[in-house]
Structure 1
Amino acid sequence: MIGAIAKRLFGSANDRYVKLLHPLVKEINALEPEIEKLSDEELRARTPQFRERLDKGEKLDNLLVEAFATVREAAKRTLGQRHFDVQLMGGIILHRGMIAEMKTGEGKTLVATLAVYLNAISGKGVHVVTVNDYLARRDSEWMGQIYRFLGLTVGCIVPNMDNAARREAYACDITYGTNNEFGFDYLRDNMKFRLEDMVQREFNFAIVDEVDSILIDEARTPLIISGPAEDSSELYASVDKLIPKLDPETDYEKDEKARSVAFTEVGQERIEALLTESGLLKEGSLFDTHNVSLLHHSNQALRAHALFERDTDYIIKDDKVIIIDEFTGRMMEGRRFSEGLHQALEAKEGVTIQKENQTLASITFQNYFRLYPKLGGMTGTAMTEAEEFQEIYKLEVVEMPTNVPVVRKDNDDEVYRTAREKHEAIIKLIGECQKRQQPVLVGTVSIEKSEMLSEMLKKAKIPHQVLNARYHEQEAFIVAQAGGPGAVTIATNMAGRGTDIQLGGNLDMRIAQEAAGIEDEAARAAKVAEIKAEIAHNREIVHTAGGLYVIGTERHESRRIDNQLRGRSGRQGDPGASSFFLSLEDDLMRIFGSERMDGMLQRLGLEEGEPIIHSWVNKALEKAQQKVEQRNFEIRKNLLKFDDVMNDQRKVVYEQRKELMQAETVQDTVRDMRYETLEEAVSTAIPTGSLPEQWDLDGLHVNLRRLTDLDLPVQEWAKEEGIAEPEILERIIKASDSRMAEKAANFGPEIMRMAEKSILLQVLDQQWKDHLLGLDHLRHGIGLRAYGQRDPLNEYKREAFDMFGAMLDEVRQTVTAVLSHLEVRSNEAPESLAPQERPRELHEGRQDPAFAEQGRQEAAAQGQGNLAGQATVETRQAAAKVNPNDPGTWGRVARNAACPCGSGKKYKHCHGKL
C-alpha cells in the first residue's frame, strides 16, 4: 500500500532513470541547428575528428552528445528518418551496456545506429546480433547507409562464407550477423592451427536485437561443433585381428600393477610387419608423423587384449560392451572408455563398434555473450525476464516510453470448455473483422496448429496467408502487407519479427516488389505514386475499421511471447485491438487442473459456445505463467552452473592454444613437459623415503621405453652404492636431452621446432576433445547422486577438476612420447609437419541431449527435496575469498601471476601448466 502511494507520488525506479536522460537529449537537440548547416563532407569529417579526440584520451561518454547529433543528421540525409527523443534515450541505454525495452514499431533498428556509431569510432569493432540471416543482411544494407556516409566500414556474416570473407567482415568497424554465426566462428577460431587463419578480433561491444529471444529462448541449448570420431570402425576391426599374432613373451611388456603395456623393440618390428602385410601401413615407420593415428590404434588394441578381461573389467550385453565398476562390481550403463579404448574392446569382442559423434567444441550462448566486455540489447518484451538478465548477464532492463501513447484495446481472455468451441469463436471473429475490412493477425503456437486453423478458414471461405518459420525473407514480405484492408494472416510466434505491420501496407516493401523491375524512370515514378496513393487510401479504411486486430489462439508458458504477439498492433499511436482465446483443453490450462474446473463449469450451467470472461481469469493465468517461467529459469540457471565449470577449463585451453600459436618456438614448453613427465615417472617407481627393494625398477624401465624410446639400464644403476632418486632422475634427463639434441641435429632445428609446435597443438586438441566426451558422459549421470544426499554440482566440479588435471598429465606424457619416437624421413617435405586443418566433415548443432537430460535430473532432484539445500554457489567466484587449497575459488588467474596455491611458482608453471 505504502509502496503504491510512493510510486504514484515519485514514479517508479524505471521512470526516475528515464527522467535522468532528458538533460542529455536536450543537449543533443540543441546541436541540431548547428549540425544541419554542415555540408556532407564536413559531417563525414567529424568521424576522424572524434577518433583523434579518443586517441588523446577522451572517453566515449564525452563524445556521446556530438556523436548522436551527427548520426541523427546522417540518418535524415541518407534514410529520410529522424530519431525521436525516445530513440535517443534508447541509444544512450544501449551505449551504457543495458537493455532497452521499446514497444514494437518504435524503430529499434534505427535506435541501434546511435550506440553502434559511437562505439565503432574506436576502431575496435562492434557486433550487431540479429535473430536470422535475412535481418542481418537487411539491416547491414539499410542502416549501413548511415555508417558508410560517416566513413565507417560495415560487414555482414552469413552462412557459407569462406574464411577470407569472414575475416574481412570482422575487420570492419561494424559487423552484422546472427548469434549462431558469431558463436560458431568463435568455436572454429579456437580449432585453428595458425593465428592468421582466425577470423574474429578481440571482443569489444555487441548489441543484441530481440535480446530476449537470443539470450533466453535460444540459450536453452548450446552451440556444438561435432564430428564423427576420427577413428573408423573398419580400422579398429582390422588392427584388432593382428594383436593375437603377437608373442606375449617377446613382443610386449605388461605391468599389471600400473595397468600399462608397451611394445618391445622386437614387438615394434613385428607389429610394423603385420600392418604392412595387411596393407594398413603404406609407407615409412609406425612412428613417422603421418602414422600417428595407426600407432594410436595399435596401442589401444594392445591394451584391450593385454589389460582388460571380459566379465571382470566389462561384460557383453545386448551387443554392447558395458563397463563394470571395479569398486562396486556394478554395470556402468552409458559410460564409455575414452581415447578409442571402448571401440578397441568392441572390436575385440566382435560386437557392433559404436560410431560416436564426438563433441569437438561447445559453448552456451550465456558464456559466449559474457565474453564481451560491454553488451547491450533491445526488444519489445524484456521486463518480465529482468531478473534473469540481471542474474545471468548482469544486464539491467530499462522500459522506454513510447513516442506516441498506445491506444490499442487489450480485451480480457475468453475461456471456453473445448477447443472446438474456441476455434468456432475465433473463426466467427475473423469473419466479422473481414466484413468491416479490419486486418487480422492470428498467432498460433505451432506450424501444425496454424495449418489446422488454415483448413477451418478455407472451409469458411475466408482468404488468408499462412506463415511459418521456414522462409524468413518471404515472411517479411507477407507480414509487411498484413495491415491491408481485410487481410488475414496466420503466423507462428517465430514469424514476422523485425518487420512492422503498417496499416494500409508497407510502402518500401510494395515498391521493392512491384516497382523494382521498371527501368524507365518516369514509369517507375508513376508506379511509386500509384502505390503511395493506394496505401494512403487503404490506411484510411483500416483506421476506420479499428486498426490491426491481434488474436491469440492460446496462451504460452511465457507471458513475454504473448506480449510479443500483442505488440504487433497499436504501433506509433495506431488504433488496434487484441484478444486471447483459450480452452480447458489447451496445454497450459490442462496443467493447472482443468478437470476440476470443467466439472465446476458444467454444474454452474455454462452453455455450449459460452465463454468465461473476467479480469480475475487473466490474473490467475499470469500467475500460472510466472510459475512456469520461474521453473524454466531455474533449469537454465542450473545448466549454466554446470557449463561454467567447463567454461573455466575452456578459457584456459583456448588461451594456452593462442599463446602457443603466437610463440615463435615451443621448445622450452615441450622440454618442461618432458622433465615433469620423467620426474613423475621416477617418483612413481621410486617413492620418496622408500627402500631400494621397494623400488619398481621393471615398471620404470617399461615406462621409460614408452616415454623416451630409450633402453636405459635403470636396474644396473640401482645396484650402485649410495644412489638415490635424484641421481637416477638426473641420468634419465641427461640421456633424454642427448636423444632430443641428436634428433634436432639430424632433422635440422627448423623442422624440429615446427614438429614440436605441430605435435603439441594436435595432442592438446585430441586430449581436449576426449576430455569433452568424458565431461558429457559424467554429466549424463551426475544428477542421480542427489539420491545419495550429495550435491550433483559440487560432485561435478570436483570430478571435472580431477579429469582436467588428468588431461593435462596425458598431454605432457603424449607429447613427450611422440617427440621421443619421432622420425622424419629425408624425402619428407617440411610442410608435412605443419599443423593440418581439421577434416571438413564437421557438424554444427544446437542439440545436446546431455544438457536436456541434466536439466530434467536437476529439476527432479529439486522437486523431491533430496538435497540438503541445493547449492547456489556460482562457479564464477571473483568476489569470494581465495582458498589456496580450493582452485574453484581462484577465479581467473593471469598466466604470469603467482599461483594462488602458495607454491611460489608462476601460475603457468604450476596449476595452470600444460
Structure 2
Amino acid sequence: MIQKILRVLFGSKYERDLKRLTPIVVQINSLEESMRSLSDPELSSQTRKFKERLAKGETLDDILPEAFATVREAALRKLGMRHFDVQMMGGISLHWGNISEMKTGEGKTLTSTLAIYLNALAGKGVHVVTVNDYLARRDALWMTPIYDFLDLSVGIIQHDMEHDDRKKAYSADITYGTNNEYGFDYLRDNMVSHIDHKVQRAHYFAIVDEVDSILIDEARTPLIISGPSDESTDKYTRIDKIIPKLIEGEDYEKDEKAKNTLMTEKGVAHVEEILGIENLYAPQNVDLVHHVHQALKAHKIFQRDVDYVVQNGEVIIVDEFTGRLMSGRRYSDGLHQALEAKEGVPIARESQTLASITFQNYFRLYEKLSGMTGTADTEAEEFHKIYNLDVIVIPPNVPVQRKDAADRVYRTEKEKFTAILNEIKDCRDKKQPVLVGTISIEKSEVLARLLAQAGIAHNVLNAKFHEKEAEIIANAGKPAAVTIATNMAGRGTDIVLGGAQLFKESLESWKESDPVISEFKEAVVRADFERAESISQRLDSQTKKSKANDILTSAKIWRKNHDEVLEAGGLHILGTERHEARRIDNQLRGRSGRQGDPGSSRFYLSLQDDLMRIFGSDRIAGIMERLKMPEGQEIEHPMVSNAIARAQKRVEGHNFDIRKHLLEYDDVMNRQRIVIYKMRNEVLEGGDVTGQAKSFLEEMIEAQVVTTCEGGNPNGWEWDVLKEWFEGLGLPWKVDQDEIKKSKNPQLAIFDSLNNAAQTFYQEKADRIGADVWKLLERNIFLDILDHRWKEHLYSMDHLREGIWTVGYGEKNPLVEYKLQGFRLFDQAIENMKYEIVSFLVRVEVTEKTQLPEEKKEYKKVGQELTGGFQELQGAKPKNPAAEAMPVTSGGGGSSERKTSRRKRK
C-alpha cells in the first residue's frame, strides 16, 4: 500500500529515472549543430581541450554534454551511425555507474562509446568487459574508428597473447577483453617477481557487457590459478567401479532440486561390504566418504551432453546459462576426476590453489562499475546488494512490436515435440524464420534428429558446433530459416531480418577515395537502388562498375528476403522448455522484435520437463486427468503460467543464496588477500624491506621475551630456552645476565640487549655485503617466502572450508567458525612468514660475486621457473646448514610445476 501511495506521489522508478535523464539529453542535442559545424581537425582536438579543462579542476559531469555531443558527431562521420536519444540516456546511465537495461538490437555497443570516451579522458584507463574473445575483438575493431578520430588509444586482450602485447593493451586509454582474462591477469599480477612484469593498471572504470551473464550467472564459479597436487588418481577408478552396484531408493536418495545425492544407512553398509572396510566413517576413511559422494553425483546427477561433453579424451564443462563450452575450467573437490573416471578418459590429478578470487570481489575493486544488458531488472535486488549497482530501464527507440503468446503445456515430451514440429512446418510454409531455443545439447540434438526425419533443413548451434556461431546466428533471419540454439548461444550478434547483410561488408571494405563511390555507398545504404544503379554508371573503370554491380545485386537479394520475412510476421521464437531463470527466457524472446521489427514468441512445455517435474506438476497433471484430455491436447491457462513463474522465482532465490554463500566465504579470504597483496606490492614498488625486516625482528624478540621472561624475578626465567631460540635464529648471544638482574626493569633490559644486538648484527651484515646486493637479497627472499607461505595458507583454507560444515552438528554456525579458524590460520601463517624471512636473512651470505637478477628483468609465464627469485643469486646461500632445508619457492609464487588457470565450479 505504501509503495502504491509513493508511486502516485512521486511516480515509478522508471518515470523518475527518465525525468533525471531527459534534461541532459536535451542539453546534448542543443550542441549538435555547433559540433556539426566543426572541421575534422577541430572535432578531433576536442579531446585535448577536455583534458585541459579536467586538469584545471572541472569534473567529468561538467563536460558530459559536450563530450557526448562530440562522440555522436564522430560516430556519424566515421561509422555513419548517429546515436539515438535513448542511447544517450543509456550512456549517461553507464557514466553514473548504473546498469542500463536496453532491449536487444537497441545498439548497446554504440551506446557504450559515450561513457567510454568520457571516462577515458581521465587518463586512468577504461576496461570494457565482454563474454568472449570474439566479441571483445569485434566490438573493439568496430568502434576503434571513433576513438582513433578522437585521439584515444585502444587495446584488445585475447586469450593467447604474449606478455608484452598484453601489457601494451592495458596501457591504452581503452581496453577490451573478457571477464576471465581481466580476473586471471589480476591474479597473475600478484604472483610476479618484478614490478615490470605486471600488466594491469589501476582499476578505475569498467563497463560490463551482458552484465547479467557475467556478474550473475558466472559469479557462482571463482577464478582459480592452481598447480597439481601429489595425490594418486587410483582412488577415483576404484570408487567409480562400485557406483553401478548401488540401487536408487535403497542405497541412496537423489535430490534433483538441490542437485545432490544422499547415502542411506543400507547404502553405507553396502559400500563398506564392497570396499572391504569395517567403518566408512572412521577418521582414516573420511577421504573415501567424500569420493563416494562425488562419484554418485557424477553418475546420477551430472549428465553427458547436458552438464558436460567429452571431446578429444577430455571432460569439458558446458555453461548451463549460455550453452557454451568452458574449456580449461574444472569442477572442484574431485568431482571433475569422478566424471573422468565415469567416462573412461585420463584422470588428471587434483589441483592445489595458488591464487583465487570471485568475480564479485574482483569487480568490486573498480572505483566505478557499470553494465548493460537486455535483461537485468529481474535481478535488480542482487545487483544492488552485491555490487551496489542500480538498474535503469532505458525505453526502446521504437516501441516493441513482438507478440508474445501464452505457453502451451502438454502431458508428455513426445506430444510437445509433435506440436513443435507442426508449428515449425507452419512457419516454414509461410517463409517465416524460426529460432528454436533449447536448454541443453541433448535436447537440441533430439530436436535436430526429428527435423531431419521430417525433411526440414535447419542449423544447429550448441557447444559442439560453436565455431560458426556468429555466421549461423546472423543468417537465422533468412526466409524459412530454422535455427536450433542452446539457450543464448550467439548472444551479442544481431539476427537481421532477411539474413546477413553481406553487401554492407563489401561497402565497408571499399576504401577508395572517390566521391562517386561515396555517393553510391550512401544510395545503397538508403536502399535507393535506382539511384545507386544510375550512379554506378558514372564510375571511371570497369573494375569499379563490376564491384558496384555485385554489391547492388547482393543488396537487392537481401531487401527481397527482408520484405518476405516482414510479410511473414518477422522472426518467430519457439522455446522448447522453460529455463530455471526468467531472465534467460526473456533473453531468448528478446532476439525477436528488434528496433520495431515485427516478431512473435511462444514456449512449449510438457509435464516431463525438469522444471515442471521437479517443482510440482502433479496438480496440473491431475486437472488433465479429470478433464480426460485426449493425447496431444494442450493446456493454455494463466494458472499454468503463474505456477511456472513461482517455480522460477524459487530457483532464482536458491541460486542467489548459492552466490551469496560463495561471496560470504570469499570475503574472509578477500580480507586476507588484500593484506598479502598489499605487502607484495609495497616490496615490488621499491618499499623499505630493511625497515620491515628489522621491525619483524623486533616483534619476534619482544614476543619471545614476554613468553620466556615472565615475572619480575630473572631467576625464574627460562634463560636456556631464550638463548637457544636466539642462537637458533642465527644471532650471537651477548647477554650479561648479572647486569640484567641488577636492572630496575629486567624485562625491558633483556629486550633492549637482545634487540640492540640483533639490529647491530643485521646492519653490519648489510654493510658487509653491500647496499645494492643486500637490497636485492632482501626483496627476493621476502617475496619468495611470502608467496610460499601464502600458497600453504590457501591449501589450509581449502581444507578448512571442505570440512567446516561438520561443526553444524554441534549447533555452531559454519561461517562464523570458518571466520574464526581462518583468522587463526592466517595469523599463524603471518608469524611463520616473519620468522622464516628474518631467519633466512640473518643466515644468508654471499660467497661469490654474481650477476644481479634485476639486470635481466625477464618475464616468464606464471608456472615456469621465474628468474627473478633469490635462487638465481648463485653465490647466495644460508650460513647455517640447517637453513638449507628450509622450503623455498621461485619468485613467481610457485615451483617449477606447471600451473593452470581455471574456473572452480560449485
Per the TM superposition, whether the score is higher than 0.5 is yes
The separation in 2 between residues aligned to 1:517 and 1:77, in whole angstroms, is 15
Q: Is the 8 A contact 1:103 1:380 kept in 2?
A: yes
Inter-CA distance 417–573: structure 2 relative to 1 (3 Å threshold): same
One-letter code aligned to 1:205: F
Q: TM-score, normalised by structure 1?
A: 0.76
Q: Tell me the residue number matched to 2:345.
A: none
Q: Is the 8 A contact 1:510 1:531 kept in 2?
A: no
The separation in 2 between residues aligned to 1:475 and 1:514, in whole angstroms, is 22
Q: Tell me the residue number matched to 2:122.
A: 122
Work out which of the residue numbers 605, 619, 624 in structure 2 matches 1:601: 624
Q: Tell me the residue number matched to 1:421.
A: 415
The separation in 1 between residues aligned to 2:191 and 2:687, in whole angstroms, is 19
Give the Å deviation of 1:141: 0.4
Give the Å deviation of 1:541: 0.5
Give the Å deviation of 1:366: 0.4
Q: Is the 8 A contact 1:334 1:777 kept in 2?
A: no
Inter-CA distance 436–657: structure 2 relative to 1 (3 Å threshold): same
What secondary structure, in the 3-state scheme, does the structure 1 residue paired with 2:104 have?
coil
Q: Tell me the residue number matched to 1:262.
A: none
2:163 matches 1:163? yes
What secondary structure, in the 3-state scheme, does the structure 1 residue paired with 2:604 have?
strand
Q: Tell me the residue number matched to 1:845.
A: 902
Q: Tell me the residue number matched to 1:212.
A: 212
Q: Tell me the residue number matched to 1:543.
A: 566
Q: Is the 8 A contact 1:444 1:493 kept in 2?
A: yes
The separation in 2 between residues aligned to 1:319 and 1:177, in whole angstroms, is 53
Q: Tell me the residue number matched to 2:785.
A: 763
**Pairwise mapping of residues 62-141 of structure 1 onto structure 2 (< 5 A)?**
62-141=62-141
Q: Is the 8 A contact 1:134 1:473 kept in 2?
A: no
One-letter code aligned to 1:648: R
1:578-608 deviation line (CA, Å, top 9, x unaligned):
0101111111101122245324422320210
Give the Å deviation of 1:85: 0.9
2:103 matches 1:48? no
Work out which of the residue numbers 353, 363, 367 in structure 2 matches 1:369: 363
Give the Å deviation of 1:6: 7.4
2:830 matches 1:836? no
Aligned residues: 737
Q: Is the 8 A contact 1:511 1:528 kept in 2?
A: no
Give the Å deviation of 1:148: 0.8
Inter-CA distance 537–496: structure 2 relative to 1 (3 Å threshold): same
Work out which of the residue numbers 797, 800, 804 in structure 2 matches 1:775: 797
Inter-CA distance 688–798: structure 2 relative to 1 (3 Å threshold): farther
The separation in 2 between residues aligned to 1:633 and 1:388, in whole angstroms, is 7
1:414-448 deviation line (CA, Å, top 9, x unaligned):
11111111111111111111111100000111112
Give the Å deviation of 1:842: 1.6
Q: Is the 8 A contact 2:433 2:480 kept in 1?
A: yes
Inter-CA distance 731–128: structure 2 relative to 1 (3 Å threshold): same
Work out which of the residue numbers 802, 808, 816 in structure 2 matches 1:794: 816
Q: TM-score, normalised by structure 2?
A: 0.77
Moved more, 512-521 or 453-462: 512-521
Q: Tell me the residue number matched to 1:680.
A: 703
Give the Å deviation of 1:4: 5.8
One-letter code aligned to 1:438: Q
The separation in 2 between residues aligned to 1:10 and 1:524, in whole angstroms, is 59
**Pairwise mapping of residues 696-707 of structure 1 onto structure 2 (< 5 A)?**
696-707=718-729
Cα RMSD, aligned residues only? 2.9
Q: Tell me the residue number matched to 2:173.
A: 173
Q: Tell me the residue number matched to 1:813.
A: 835
2:28 matches 1:28? yes
Inter-CA distance 664–557: structure 2 relative to 1 (3 Å threshold): closer
Q: Is the 8 A contact 1:686 1:725 kept in 2?
A: yes
Inter-CA distance 684–579: structure 2 relative to 1 (3 Å threshold): same
One-letter code aligned to 1:743: K
**Pairwise mapping of residues 528-677 of structure 1 onto structure 2 (< 5 A)?**
528-663=551-686, 665-677=688-700
The separation in 2 between residues aligned to 1:92 and 1:621, in whole angstroms, is 36
Q: Is the 8 A contact 1:515 1:524 kept in 2?
A: no
The separation in 1 between residues aligned to 2:181 and 2:834, in whole angstroms, is 34
2:393 matches 1:395? no
The separation in 1 between residues aligned to 2:511 and 2:488, in whole angstroms, is 31
Give the Å deviation of 1:20: 2.6
What secondary structure, in the 3-state scheme, does the structure 2 residue paired with 1:225 have?
strand
One-letter code aligned to 1:631: H
Give the Å deviation of 1:735: 3.9
What runs of 5+ residues in structure 1 fail to find an aligned partner? 234-317, 336-353, 853-914
The separation in 2 between residues aligned to 1:132 and 1:522, in whole angstroms, is 39
Moved more, 726-735 or 575-584: 726-735
What secondary structure, in the 3-state scheme, does the structure 2 residue paired with 1:377 have?
strand
The separation in 1 between residues aligned to 2:354 and 2:597, in whole angstroms, is 51
Q: Is the 8 A contact 2:74 2:150 kept in 1?
A: yes
Inter-CA distance 737–23: structure 2 relative to 1 (3 Å threshold): closer
Q: Is the 8 A contact 2:228 2:897 kept in 1?
A: no
One-letter code aligned to 1:437: K
What secondary structure, in the 3-state scheme, does the structure 1 residue paired with 2:379 have?
helix
What secondary structure, in the 3-state scheme, does the structure 1 residue paired with 2:227 have?
strand
Inter-CA distance 799–232: structure 2 relative to 1 (3 Å threshold): closer
Give the Å deviation of 1:11: 4.4
1:59-109 deviation line (CA, Å, top 9, x unaligned):
111111111111111111111111111111111100110011000011111
The separation in 2 between residues aligned to 1:789 and 1:332, in whole angstroms, is 24
Q: Tell me the residue number matched to 2:546.
A: 523
Inter-CA distance 129–690: structure 2 relative to 1 (3 Å threshold): farther
Q: Is the 8 A contact 1:477 1:509 kept in 2?
A: no
One-letter code aligned to 2:416: K
> Percent identity over the alignment?
52
Q: Tell me the residue number matched to 1:504.
A: 498
The separation in 2 between residues aligned to 1:517 and 1:487, in whole angstroms, is 33
Work out which of the residue numbers 749, 754, 771 in structure 1 matches 2:771: 749
Moved more, 438-447 or 16-25: 16-25
What secondary structure, in the 3-state scheme, does the structure 2 residue paired with 1:557 have?
coil
Q: Tell me the residue number matched to 1:201.
A: 201
One-letter code aligned to 2:165: A
Give the Å deviation of 1:678: 2.2
One-letter code aligned to 1:396: D
The separation in 2 between residues aligned to 1:191 and 1:199, in whole angstroms, is 12
Q: Is the 8 A contact 2:506 2:551 kept in 1?
A: no
Inter-CA distance 690–99: structure 2 relative to 1 (3 Å threshold): farther
Q: Is the 8 A contact 1:408 1:578 kept in 2?
A: yes
What secondary structure, in the 3-state scheme, does the structure 1 residue paired with 2:904 have?
coil
Q: Tell me the residue number matched to 1:464.
A: 458
Give the Å deviation of 1:546: 0.8
The separation in 2 between residues aligned to 1:135 and 1:367, in whole angstroms, is 24
Inter-CA distance 48–188: structure 2 relative to 1 (3 Å threshold): same
Inter-CA distance 508–692: structure 2 relative to 1 (3 Å threshold): farther
Q: Is the 8 A contact 1:469 1:494 kept in 2?
A: no
What secondary structure, in the 3-state scheme, does the structure 1 residue paired with 2:578 have?
coil
Q: Is the 8 A contact 1:480 1:509 kept in 2?
A: no
